[in-house]
Amino acid sequence: MTDQTPQVRLERAKEASRATAALTSDDKERALEAIAVALEQNAASIIEANGRDIDRGRADGIGESLIDRLRLDEKRVAALASAVRQVAALADPVGRVVGGHRMPNGVALEQIRVPFGVVGAIYEARPNVTVDIAALALRSGNAVVLRGGSAAKESNTVLVEVMRRALDGAGVTAEAIQTVDDFGRDGAKALMHGRGFIDVLVPRGSAGLIETVVTESTVPVIETGAGNVHIVLDESAPEDWARDIVVNAKVQRPSVCNAVETVLVLRQAAPRLIPLVASALQSEGVAIHGDDIVAGLVSNVIPATEEDWATEYLSLDIAMKVVDSLDDALDHIRRYSTGHTESIITTDSSNVERFLAEVDSAVVMANASTRFTDGAEFGFGAEVGISTQKLHTRGPMGLSELTSTKWLARGAGQTRG
């Protein structure tokens, strides 16, 4: 893709969207299988390009959490291909009947799902998103324009080339996948100001990037938020559940948005649970930023500041605080949460139901790791992102979330009096 201007790419995507909207479900499945095969066959060149990105990232000092998000190895490329196949196997949302009825005059109304048209995405240091969003966009009948950021430029260039060639070989227009990476900030600006060409724009990345896209865009944006994620431990929390869930939520992959960042412990549970949970975390290399009570129960605690309660660490750091009651835990979450995911560990059914009802986040859990907030884990095959807003969608975004609706009316000569 050596042509011209960002505007030309947007125009080509818009034209391609008319073709992708007309594809049959079988057409889309074949195209996605072609992409999966191409990813597997080109794994070596993808990993080589990714290595150049990682080397440059380390030289630029971008930090290990971003390096982890950036990295593609054989296992992760295979996982990308698997995710594409999972998306292909999902039910096609296009044409699905949402509702309908017959008007008193006999006109039959039917509301069906239709593609948005062109989905734009702006994201940072996540080459897996390049494939995930392209696959979800195609399966839902959309074209896509990608801006993946300079940190993953080499990886994304190869991934886009591989996918475009695969589409061409499958008889689907390669123009359905566009990138504006080579235009740098001008490419991102074109996406944010692409009224008439970009039907919806999804940002994924840092809080700063998301805020920039939300405030500067003149096209509709689905906001995917940062993850200042909380887990609450009450006095009835089983020790093994508390330990295992908190450690999993923090340690399994600390650089992602569904990793826990703050643990709130009810005062009556503190002497029993804090030493146990903190010891398990520290044995995994986690630095604990705790209040005075936590510091009195555990050694090597970093004194927590006000900033810690609002921090999305994306690293092996965690904040820990003792609260007097569930009311106080809920107040803390309301004040500091980014509305992503919260979980409570308890065997008290009334606390479960109250927590699920009163916490206003995209995903609210009881007795489960926050790491489950993920499109693949939810059965979506992959995800465009995790929306923390309330319009047009909320939570992990899969195929249906990349569609709109339209009404079909079938009459027999009726006129309105």
Q: For 58-98, write each residue's pLDDT tens digit.
A: 999 988 878 888 999 999 999 999 999 999 999 999 999 99
Domain at 246, CATH number: 3.40.309.10
- For the chain, percent of residues with pLDDT exceeding 70: 99
Q: How many CB atoms lie within 10 A of CB 356?
A: 13
Return the structure tokens found at 289: 């930023």
Q: Is residue 185 part of a domain?
A: yes
Domain range for residue 12?
Answer: 8-224+384-410
Confidence class for position 198, pLDDT limits 50, 70, 90: very high
Q: What is the pLDDT of residue 213?
A: 94
Q: Is residue 417 part of a domain?
A: no
Q: Are residues 181 and 291 in the same domain?
A: no
Collapsing DSSP states into helix, strand and coil, what is residue 10? helix
Tally the residues of the chain: 417
Nearest to 231 by CA among 281, 192, 172: 281
Token pair 């080397």 in the structure block, residue? 55
Whether the pLDDT of residue 2 is over 70: the answer is no
Mean pLDDT, residues 47-53 = 97
Average pLDDT taken over every residue of the chain: 94
Amino acid (one-letter) located at 285: G
What are the residues whose beta carbons fall under 8 Å from the beta carbon of 49, sequence distance 6 or more? 154, 155, 157, 158
Q: How many CB atoms lie within 10 A of CB 92?
A: 18
- For the chain, percent of residues with pLDDT exceeding 90: 85
Tens-digit pLDDT profile for residues 385-400:
888 888 888 888 889 8
Q: Is residue 416 part of a domain?
A: no
Return the structure tokens found at 218: 């003149």
Q: Are residues 188 and 264 in the same domain?
A: no
Largest interatomic CA distance in the chain: 81
Domain at 388, CATH number: 3.40.605.10
What are the residues whose beta carbons fall under 8 Å from the beta carbon of 168, sequence distance 6 or more? 174
Cβ(111)–Cβ(401) below 8 Å: no
Q: Are residues 61 and 35 in the same domain?
A: yes
Per the rule left: phi > 0, alpha: psi between -120 and 50, beta: everything else, 379 is left
User: What distance lies between CA 125 and its chain's CA centroid?
Assistant: 13
Amino acid (one-letter) located at 255: S
Q: Are residues 337 and 303 in the same domain?
A: yes
> CA–CA separation, 358 vs 361, rounded Å?
9
Mean pLDDT, residues 190-209 = 92
Q: What is the pLDDT of residue 396?
A: 86
Q: Is residue 111 part of a domain?
A: yes
Q: What is the pLDDT of residue 281?
A: 98
Q: What is the pLDDT of residue 212?
A: 93
Return the structure tokens found at 255: 């650089």
Tens-digit pLDDT profile for residues 113-167:
999 999 999 998 889 999 999 999 999 999 999 999 899 999 999 999 999 999 9
pTM score of the predicted model: 0.85
- Kindly give the pairing relationship between strand 200-204 and strand 118-123: parallel
Q: What is the pLDDT of residue 3?
A: 57
Whether the pLDDT of residue 1 is over 60: the answer is no
Nearest to 219 by CA among 232, 202, 207: 202
Q: Which 8-state DSSP code applies to residue 76? A: H
Q: Which 8-state DSSP code applies to residue 310? A: T
- The neighbouring-strand residues paired with 115 are 403
> CA–CA separation, 312 vs 255, rounded Å?
10
Tens-digit pLDDT profile for residues 242-277:
999 999 999 999 988 999 999 999 999 999 999 999
- The neighbouring-strand residues paired with 114 are 404
Q: Is residue 378 part of a domain?
A: no
> CA–CA separation, 259 vs 338, rounded Å?
13
Tens-digit pLDDT profile for residues 325-356:
999 999 999 999 999 999 999 999 999 999 99
Q: Is residue 332 part of a domain?
A: yes
Q: Is residue 2 part of a domain?
A: no
